[in-house]
Amino acid sequence: MRKNIIDNKIKETLNITASKIEVNKNNMEITKRNVLHNIEEAENMKKIGFKKTALIVASLCILGSITAVAASGFTMTVAHSFLNEEVKSFEQVAEITEKANMDLKYIEKFSNGYEFKSAVPVYGNYEDQETGTSSPQWTDISITYENKDGEDVMMSVSSVLPPMSENTSTENYNGIEIGYFSYNALFVPPTYELTEEEKALEASGDIVVSYGTDKVEKEFIESVSWSDNGLNYSLMTQNGSLGSDGLTEMAKEIIDK
Amino acid sequence: MTDIENLVVQMINDDKYAFNDLMTIYYPKAMRLAFLISGKYADSEDIVQEAFTSCYINRKKIKEPKYFERWLYKIISRKAWAYSKKAKREQPAPEVFEENTPDSFSLADSVIDSIENKEIFNAVMSLPIKQRTVVVLYYYNSLTTKEIAQITGSFEGTVKSRLHNARKAIKKIIESSENSYKQEVPI
């Protein structure tokens, strides 16, 4: 059979089949609407979202799960927030906690001068990269406080993510264990290849790697975490000067609320 | 500059109305291409939706508006491959080793009248997805092997070899179908 006869037969078959594929106008409109909605969501997603949300997850997770945020394992924790859902007035925090159905403790101002700056719901879920399945989405709350020098402390509250279990020190306050933990975080772009030295540091637990930033950044992270009335709290600061004592005192003020 | 190129330039400059027009123009072509590559009508809508979303988000990467269509085909192909990979992962273990049986077969039965066309279509759908993509882009979209190489991210030689093997496989099917037909017809 000549080559051009086969060519013509294949061409004819594909054209006939394609011409009979129903292209429904209603479906087209639905697709277009979904596409525009997806784009809007992507555009509203916080530009700084990855690092901040990775820190929220990391500050609440056990060490093993922190590594999972790096998206290199079979199971990962995915979290994202939307710029248009961020509130900047203290009164509006109640709206987002209500929407998230979370009865959490929070204050407007700490005695060390840190004051409410902003709050945002953070949507999280677990994904299994092997099977492509994901857990139902849950909502956490993140509240940022700022001092007069512009240093931030981020409070994260989750009913799902477990509290830190590898604390370097703990203090019992009115029956609640407040644990302190610090670590060196390395934020790298998604395609970044760790150096041999970084691989060794990661293996020994001296750095925690999170993939997703535009450039390589190193941060010293300190956090305190505790559980209160079914919710897991953490207060976290980057490269700050609060230390274990400063953060623990802030935790006590939240517990006392 | 053509009307399409103008729309592409406007889309690159963040004009969502232009992007909306481009979706309207390309939706039928995109749906048909997605179906012919994926072999699954149900997946085609998701593939097209994801491809259009990716198209707008990555619009700044378009260097030459006149090649927009080719660029869109590339995104659709990649999305279809990803869906196929995902579908394989989701199959229960024993089915992974079975022949590809997309829902295109049942669709082919209902829309293709000629027995020969059905045989050919099923033969195309039985090809591995990357080979099928080459066949679809070559015969349905009438692209050159060089253009297909750019879309599929392979060497032109690989495209030619995939086409050659596909033709051979399809020829065998047509001939075997003709032989069995002859045997059934009493002389």
| pLDDT, tens digit (0-9, with 9 covering 90-100), for B144-159 | 999 999 998 889 999 9
Cα A85 to the center of its chain, rounded Å: 15
In this structure, how many other beta carbons lie within 10 angstroms of the beta carbon of residue A135? 14
Nearest CB to A27: which of B45, B117, B140? B45
Tell me which H or E stretch contains A154: strand A152-158
* Radius of gyration for the alpha carbons in chain B, expressed in angstroms and rounded: 19
C-alpha dihedral, B62 to B66 to B70 to B71, nearest 10°: 10
Which residues, including other chains, have CB under 8 Å from residue A238's CB and lie 6 or more apart? A55, A152, A185, A219, A220, A221
Which pTM value belongs to this model?
A: 0.54
Average pLDDT over residues B83-103: 51
Chain A residue with CA closest to B82: the answer is A132
The whole-angstrom separation of Cα A10 and Cα A21 is 17
Of B32, B139, B175, the CB nearest to A1: B175
pLDDT value of position A72: 37
CATH numbers and ranges of domains, chain B: 1-98 (1.10.1740.10), 100-187 (1.10.10.10)
pLDDT given at position A245: 93
Mean pLDDT, residues B25-45 taken together: 91
**Mean pLDDT estimate for chain A:** 78
**More confident: B161 or A81:** B161
Would you state the pLDDT for residue B174?
74
Please, which pLDDT band fits residue B43 given cuts at 50, 70 and 90? confident
Q: Where are the alpha helices (DSSP H) in chain A?
A: 3-20, 25-44, 49-60, 63-68, 93-99, 196-203, 243-255
* CB proximity B89 to A under 8 Å: yes
* Residue B106 bridge partners (DSSP): none
pLDDT digits (tens, 9 = 90+) for A126-174: 665 555 556 667 788 889 999 998 888 999 888 776 666 566 778 999 9
Nearest-by-Cβ selection for A132 from B89, B174, B175: B89
A204-217 confidence digits (pLDDT tens) = 777 877 766 667 88
Higher pLDDT, A71 or A16: A16
- Phi/psi at A139 (5° precision): -120, 125
The H helix count followed by the E strand count for chain B is: 10, 0
Which residue has better confidence, A253 or B106? Answer: A253
Which of A4, A10, A16, A2 has the alpha carbon at shortest distance from B170?
A10
Name the residue among B20, B36, B52 with its Cβ closest to that of A18. Answer: B36
CA atoms within 13 A on the CB side of B26: 27
CB of B46 closer than 8 Å to CB of B31: no
Binding-face residues of B in 140-159 toward A, CB within 8 A: 140
Task: Give, rounded to a whole angstrom, the gap between the first and last alpha carbons of chain B.
Answer: 62
Q: Give backbone dihedrals phi and psi of A157, rounded to 5 degrees, phi first.
A: -130, 130
Contact yes or no for A42 and B52 at CB 8 A: no
Measured over all CA atoms, what is the biggest interatomic distance in chain B, rounded to whole angstroms?
69
Give the list of residues 6+ apart from residue A82 with CB closer than 8 angstroms, or none.
A41, A44, A45, A46, A120
Round to whole Å and give the CA distance between A105 and A150. 24
User: Encoding tokens for residue A108?
Assistant: 């407007």
Select the residue from B22, B109, B111, B144 to test the A interface by mutation, using most A Cβ atoms within 10 A: B111
The pLDDT, as a whole number, for residue A134 is 62
> Is residue B138 over pLDDT 80?
yes
* pLDDT at position A53 over 90: no
Question: Token pair of A41, please?
Answer: 């969501």
The reply to whether residue B27 touches residue A28, judged by beta carbons under 8 angstroms, is: yes
pLDDT band for B7, please (50, 70, 90 cuts): very high
ipTM of predicted complex: 0.81
CA torsion angle A13 A18 A20 A24 (round to 10): 180
pLDDT tens-digit map of A89-125: 999 999 999 988 889 999 999 999 999 999 988 877 6
Contact assessment for residue A125 and residue A134, using Cβ atoms and an 8 Å cutoff: yes
Q: What is the pLDDT of residue B99?
A: 39
pLDDT of residue A244 exceeding 60: yes
